[in-house]
Structure 1
Amino acid sequence: MGSLSYDPRDPRVHADPYPGYEALREHDPVHFVPGARVWFLTRHSDCLAVLCDPRLSARHGQRLRRRDTALPTSMLNTDPPDHTRLRRAAAPAFRPRALREHGRWLVPLVGAWMGRVREAARAGREVDLAAEFARPLALRVVAGLLGLPEEDLPDFDGWAGAVAGNLDPFAAPAGGGEAAMAAMCDRFADHLFSRLTAPRPDAFTVLAGACSDGTLAPAEAMATAGLLVVGGVEPLGDMIVNAVAAMLADPGRWRDLAGSGAAPARTATEELLRIDPPIQFTARTATEDLVVGGRSIRRGDGVVPLLGAANRDPARFTRPGRLDLRRRVNPHLSFGAGPHACLGAPLVRMVGRLLVTAVRECTAEPRPGGGPAFHRPGTVPRGYASLPLRWS
């Protein structure tokens, strides 16, 4: 099977990785690249096993990162016990009680932005869903989670855009990215320590409490807040746009979402999360010899579960390439699995369900606009730089 290959840096792969995933899964589902000593996994069962196996290290998995700037120490690139401590410190910001508090501002926020879409539909105006709707909404969701005041939003917008590239393990350092992260963390420090005397229902208060009780060092709290920005703004915006693009590819699905007898919001949201996730892969390194999918993996080898491939494994999903908004059994891996499963998944799901519910109040159906739709360059997250829409 030497003719088969997978390179996440290839622009063609980034634009549409799914045909390549299918070929690998059929002919070489545990695919080895000898020069890099990296294994790529495309079966759901293998990806799930690796994500849950403590012998596969996320910290050492960062060795696969091919760029000069290292990520600050955070939940993303640590193993237990440090990972457990860092995750436990931030977890209260995403528990049910906190989500109920977030709902107080999320519901009107999503409603206001959907109102803008309805106004554009009534006016017959073309809208770039990525630039004019999804990313600005995602920016405000993360700002609300942190508890940033309105006057910080212009600066936060610039910082979030500059630091977003840190998630891409192959990207060249973006101009000003490190300076933006430093400036952002300076402002975050002001908010963090103000919460010690004036707590609020936001993530800064949670992190301030963890600093106060000694669970987190201040630098770790800043790194955690930075991770919420890097792993939140662009991926959340991409989740929204990728979902709409998937429905545009099959216009009949819009009626399943918004028509009479529409699919339940929770069911539809999970399927929209599955079909084209922004985070297509994650990296681990084997800390001892082991066997995955019948192949012998040596200590020190890199192992990359391809989450987008797992989400379309026909052994786990019926008609996996079809967007089925009524799919009831949906164990997708868009948020990963195991100890490193995305901590913010409950908030993303909440936003998704609010958007699905709000869409049902919009009677017009979106169509591709006159301008070109195209993806951003890079590998992580996978999303659109532009997706023009008009309405019927």
Structure 2
Amino acid sequence: MATVPVFDPRRPDGHADPYPLYRSMRSLAPVSHVPSAGTWFVTSHEHCLAVLRDARFSASKGQRLRLRRTALPPSMLTTDPPDHTRLRRAAAPAFEPAAMARARTWMAPTVAAGVRDLCHALGSGDEVDLVGGFARPLAVSVLGSFLGMDPPELPELADWGAAVAVNLDPFADPDTDGHAARQMQQMLERFADHLHARSLRPADDALTVLARAHTAGALAPGDALSTAGLLMVGGLDPLTDLIGNAVAAMLGTPAARLESGGRLRTVVEEFLRFDAPIQFTARQATEAVELGGQRVSAGDNVVVLLGAANRDPARFTDPDRVVPDRRTNPHLSFGAGPHACLGAPLARMFAELILEALPRPLPSFTAGPTPAVRRPATVPRGYQRLPIRRIAGQA
């Protein structure tokens, strides 16, 4: 019997392109136990979805797989019901359809201005760093406004985001000099000031939603702060990487094919499936469970490889190719079940507005002469630098 390869996102080959490894693992054993890692790895769409929907797999206990010494504070990401249900319900009004419709009124012109600046910069024919020159500044602006931060605070927000994002990466080196912890403390202190101000002067933003939940007794002060921190840490890099990964995929996809995709949402969903910022999530079984013909014992760790599920040929036709008009697309890039990403509507609208703002016909981009650089973090998956330029003589 063939030995199932071990998933290690820190390996250079796996970090650059994990999909061949996913394919090998899925074909040999979609649910496989690796004794050296003391962990089950799940790679098929069917079984990943089953774990995410099954309350017997604990997200809270799954945090024990983190190699970092610093534990994440209690939040929607690190708790199970009933705490998870309470925290999620308190933040949910910020992402309801009516709230998203109101956010669209200010987000659309913000995104359009950013796209115009990008197209102007590309017009010279010189290369532009898509990440540093467009995706990250735009994500900071949009997320800051969504939370309710003041424009002069955005540079600080960007600095905090860069420092504290390491907390999402379960394999990152410990914060030996305490820089990330200090930046996190500064960020939370600022959020505390805003939450107090919103309790006196409500506004139409996410921090007001959390302030109201605290006033109503649904959130303790620490809960409100940790939730605000999660919205920041869990939003900034994934929004940036959603755009960076999508553009990287576009570089190999003719603009005409993207145009033929029809609805913007359809194209966005395909980019989300093809190379998702969040590639895996961890759980721990709280009781014995049969999964894919295997017995997962109580206390066993389980890693759900979302990126592998999104390329499962049993669920997706031609999974290793961008198909802009893919009509059936049940990807797991936002998870599933009780822990499905609450911020998914914001991310989808952000990406759709960018596509909507691009000139028609879509401009043709190509990779710049400077090599692209992947961010060293394993979570989220994205680029530190992605140089692009417009193809001369094309729209």
**Alignment TM class, shorter chain as reference:** over 0.9
How far residue 203 of structure 1 moved from its aligned partner, in angstroms, is 0.5
Q: Which of 242, 258, 266 is equivalent to 2:245?
A: 242
Contact 1:165 1:173 (8 Å CA) reproduced: no
**SS of 2:80 mapped into structure 1:** coil
Code of the residue aligned with 1:346 in structure 2: it is: P
Partner Cα separation in structure 1 for residue 174 and residue 132 of structure 2: 22
1:116 is the counterpart of 2:117: yes
Code of the residue aligned with 1:304 in structure 2: it is: V
Contact 2:277 2:379 (8 Å CA) reproduced: yes
Cα distance change of structure 1 residues 3 and 337 upon mapping to structure 2, 3 Å threshold = closer
Partner Cα separation in structure 2 for residue 363 and residue 382 of structure 1: 26
Code of the residue aligned with 2:21 in structure 1: it is: G
**SS of 1:123 mapped into structure 2:** coil
1:376 is the counterpart of 2:375: yes
**SS of 2:320 mapped into structure 1:** coil
Partner Cα separation in structure 1 for residue 250 and residue 258 of structure 2: 9
Contact 1:74 1:227 (8 Å CA) reproduced: yes
Summarize deviations over 1:179-225 as a string: whole Å, max 9, x none: 00100010111111111121111001000001001100011110001
* RMSD between superposed Cα atoms in Å: 1.2
Identity %: 55
How far residue 249 of structure 1 moved from its aligned partner, in angstroms, is 2.3
Partner Cα separation in structure 2 for residue 4 and residue 256 of structure 1: 35
Equivalence for 2:209? 206
Equivalence for 1:2? 3
Partner Cα separation in structure 2 for residue 367 and residue 8 of structure 1: 27
1:215 is the counterpart of 2:215: no
Summarize deviations over 1:15-59 as a string: whole Å, max 9, x none: 100000000111121121113321111100000000000000000
Summarize deviations over 1:299-335 as a string: whole Å, max 9, x none: 1001111000000000000000110000000000000
Equivalence for 1:336? 335
Summarize deviations over 1:102-147 as a string: whole Å, max 9, x none: 1121101100100011101222231000111111111111101101
How far residue 374 of structure 1 moved from its aligned partner, in angstroms, is 1.7
Equivalence for 2:285? 286
Partner Cα separation in structure 1 for residue 378 and residue 199 of structure 2: 39
Code of the residue aligned with 2:39 in structure 1: it is: V
How far residue 363 of structure 1 moved from its aligned partner, in angstroms, is 4.6
Equivalence for 2:313? 314
Contact 1:66 1:169 (8 Å CA) reproduced: yes
Alignment of 1:24-173 (within 5 A): 24-173=25-174
Alignment of 1:255-294 (within 5 A): 255-258=256-259, 261-294=260-293
How far residue 266 of structure 1 moved from its aligned partner, in angstroms, is 1.0
Code of the residue aligned with 1:376 in structure 2: it is: R
Equivalence for 1:186? 189
More deviation in 154-163 or 279-288?
154-163
Cα distance change of structure 1 residues 105 and 362 upon mapping to structure 2, 3 Å threshold = farther
Partner Cα separation in structure 2 for residue 287 and residue 262 of structure 1: 43
Contact 2:4 2:32 (8 Å CA) reproduced: no
Partner Cα separation in structure 2 for residue 364 and residue 293 of structure 1: 45
Code of the residue aligned with 1:357 in structure 2: it is: E
More deviation in 5-14 or 207-216?
5-14
Cα distance change of structure 1 residues 263 and 2 upon mapping to structure 2, 3 Å threshold = same
Contact 2:244 2:386 (8 Å CA) reproduced: yes
Cα distance change of structure 1 residues 202 and 362 upon mapping to structure 2, 3 Å threshold = farther
Code of the residue aligned with 1:231 in structure 2: it is: G
1:197 is the counterpart of 2:200: yes
Cα distance change of structure 1 residues 101 and 6 upon mapping to structure 2, 3 Å threshold = same
TM-score under structure 1 length normalisation: 0.97
Partner Cα separation in structure 1 for residue 229 and residue 291 of structure 2: 34
Partner Cα separation in structure 2 for residue 178 and residue 383 of structure 1: 23
Q: Unaligned regions of 5+ residues in structure 2, if any?
A: none
Contact 2:251 2:367 (8 Å CA) reproduced: yes
Cα distance change of structure 1 residues 71 and 362 upon mapping to structure 2, 3 Å threshold = farther
Code of the residue aligned with 1:110 in structure 2: it is: V
Contact 1:257 1:356 (8 Å CA) reproduced: no
